[in-house]
Structure 1
Amino acid sequence: MFDPFNIFFKSSRYWLIKSISKLLTSGTRRVEFADFWMGDQFCSLVFTLSDLYLFACTYAVGFDNWRQCGSTAKTWPAAFILASLPFLIRVIQSIKRYVDSKLNTHLINGGKYLCGIIYYLCYYIWRHQGRSLRNTSFAFWCLFGTLYSVYASAWDFWMDWSLLRPHVKYPLLRAELIYTDHIPLYYFAIISNALIRFIWVIYIPSSSAPDMYWRFFIAGFLEMLRRWQWNFIRLENEHLGNMDQYRVTREVPLPYSFDNNDHHIDETSD
């Protein structure tokens, strides 16, 4: 990543380093598209970031005792802080965008990530107490898990993707589409995105189910696929929005009508 020589795509590597550094200083500068887009990518790395502590703890205590580093250990707050970091960054970005634009939609978007932080807090508290328990922390975890999944799915469909529009050629999509040769994939994305948003239910069974770390792997892998397909429709929607506002365009309309009968070349004027 920090190789100074102009090999292995130096410009791309340094762009990534610069973008990550901007995330860590969110709130101090104007939030551009690349900033909140990168922040969204980091929200899909919650599993990876939370496991950084597990990775370091495993080396510290030895591989034979690695299970004592899980979220049932007394040090679960470290895993929670790492897991909630991407959501905290997006909350700060949303507040900054609201301050700059005064648009309430940014506060609504920030509320989604705040709900995600509370969800993970309830999850880690429940895991620390023992995942076989069905107590108050379990109830709050399920409550905020449902709220966050519905909240995030609705935002995906209506805001990030601009789908579920009435009176369009393809039901539940939008008037303008770029991937017109793959219409069924839009419907697949809608269904799969909503289902994977609720992947947290895989952690509920306490017996006759795969090991919890296998479930971590399955959930993380599906989240990676969800974000992968999310990117295609999100960027499509951003591009169409830029065209509507003439930030990008293939053809600039003339500010007047051109009538061949009224505009002609006078060959004798010379």
Structure 2
Amino acid sequence: MFDPFPVLFRPSRYWLLKNVGKLFLSGTRRVEFTDFWMGDQFCSLIFTLSNLYLFACVYADGFSPNWRKCGSSSPHWPVAFTLAALPLFVRLVQSIKRYADSKLITHLINGGKYGSGIISYFFYFLWRHQGRNRGTLFALWCLFNACYSIYASSWDLLMDWSVLRMHSRYPLLRPEVIYSNHIPLYYFAILSNILVRFIWVFYIPQSGPDMQLRTFIGGLLEMLRRWQWNFYRLENEHLGNMDQYRVTREVPLPYSFDDGNREDDGEDDGDEDEAHLSKKDRK
């Protein structure tokens, strides 16, 4: 990533480093599409980011067989929670900044989604730290996670993808679609997006696969969900830019213009008159 030599796509590597660095300056500058799009990608890397501490702890302990002490039951679990909540916090700050610049209430609504995500992850890490008991913390985690999943799924479908339109050519899609040769994939994406948003129910049963394996499966599915989400999010952004004439060089005029019946401009007539007067003056 930091290789200064012009090999291995240095412009792409430096572009990525620059835009990741901008995430840590959220709230101090205007939020562009690249900023919140990159922030959304990191929101799907919560499993990876939260396990950075786990990897560092296991490495420092010499990869001992008792590596599970570095997990969520560790007294240093707030470090893992902070790393997990960092992308959500960045997006929350970006949403507040966008509201401050535009005064559109939709940005605050979007910010509330990330705020509820931070709360749900807080109770998740706290529940895991307390030994996964079926008590108050478990109930609070289920409550806030259910709210976050409904909140996020609704925003994905209604705002980021602009689907679930009742009067469309294709039922429950938007009026215009770009991937018209792959209509069934739209419905697959809608269903799978909702299911993966509720993947946290996989953590509830006390019996079954190990919790570390469950979190890995959940993290992997979330990254695949985001990969799928990108296609339809960018499609919706492109269609929105077309509607607002931000991806065309020519803006249609508000009146008809017929080149065949075009009359000479007054400026040309004026030039001829001036030329005629000049001849008379010379005479």
TM-score (norm 1): 0.95
Deviates more, 1:53-62 or 1:253-262: 253-262
Q: 1:258 Cα deviation (Å)?
A: 3.0
Deviations 1:68-98 (CA, angstroms, capped at 9, x unpaired) = 0010111111110000000000000000000
One-letter code aligned to 1:237? N
One-letter code aligned to 2:24? L
Query: Which runs of structure 2 are paired with 1:158-169 in the superposition (5 Å)?
Result: 158-169=158-169
Deviates more, 1:141-150 or 1:215-224: 215-224
Is 1:205 the counterpart of 2:212 in the alignment?
no
Deviations 1:193-252 (CA, angstroms, capped at 9, x unpaired) = 000000011111112x01111111110111111000100000000000001111102764
**Alpha-carbon separation, structure 2, partners of 1:262 and 1:20:** 56
**Alpha-carbon separation, structure 1, partners of 2:35 and 2:93:** 12
Is 1:76 the counterpart of 2:77 in the alignment?
yes
Is 1:66 the counterpart of 2:52 in the alignment?
no
Larger Rg: 2
Aligned to 2:17: 17
Query: Which runs of structure 2 are paired with 1:167-246 in the superposition (5 Å)?
Result: 167-207=167-207, 209-246=208-245
**Alpha-carbon separation, structure 1, partners of 2:152 and 2:141:** 16
Deviations 1:91-119 (CA, angstroms, capped at 9, x unpaired) = 00000000000001000000000000000
One-letter code aligned to 2:144? F
One-letter code aligned to 2:161? W
User: Could you list the runs of 5+ residues in structure 2 that have no partner in the other structure?
Assistant: 265-283
Aligned to 2:275: none
**Alpha-carbon separation, structure 2, partners of 1:108 and 1:252:** 32
Aligned to 2:50: 50
Deviations 1:136-167 (CA, angstroms, capped at 9, x unpaired) = 00000000110000000000001100111121
One-letter code aligned to 2:113? K
Aligned to 2:246: 247
Q: 1:255 Cα deviation (Å)?
A: 4.1
Deviations 1:152-197 (CA, angstroms, capped at 9, x unpaired) = 0000001100111121111110001100000000000000000000
The number of aligned residues is 265
Aligned to 1:268: none
**Alpha-carbon separation, structure 2, partners of 1:92 and 1:30:** 11
TM-score (norm 2): 0.90
**Alpha-carbon separation, structure 1, partners of 2:213 and 2:240:** 40
Aligned to 2:280: none
One-letter code aligned to 2:20? I
Aligned to 2:35: 35
Aligned to 1:114: 115
- Aligned partner of residue 107 in structure 2, secondary structure: helix
Q: 1:260 Cα deviation (Å)?
A: 6.3
**Alpha-carbon separation, structure 2, partners of 1:65 and 1:251:** 66
One-letter code aligned to 1:175? P
User: Could you list the runs of 5+ residues in structure 1 that have no partner in the other structure?
Assistant: 266-270
**Alpha-carbon separation, structure 1, partners of 2:242 and 2:259:** 29
**Alpha-carbon separation, structure 2, partners of 1:103 and 1:254:** 29
Q: 1:261 Cα deviation (Å)?
A: 6.3
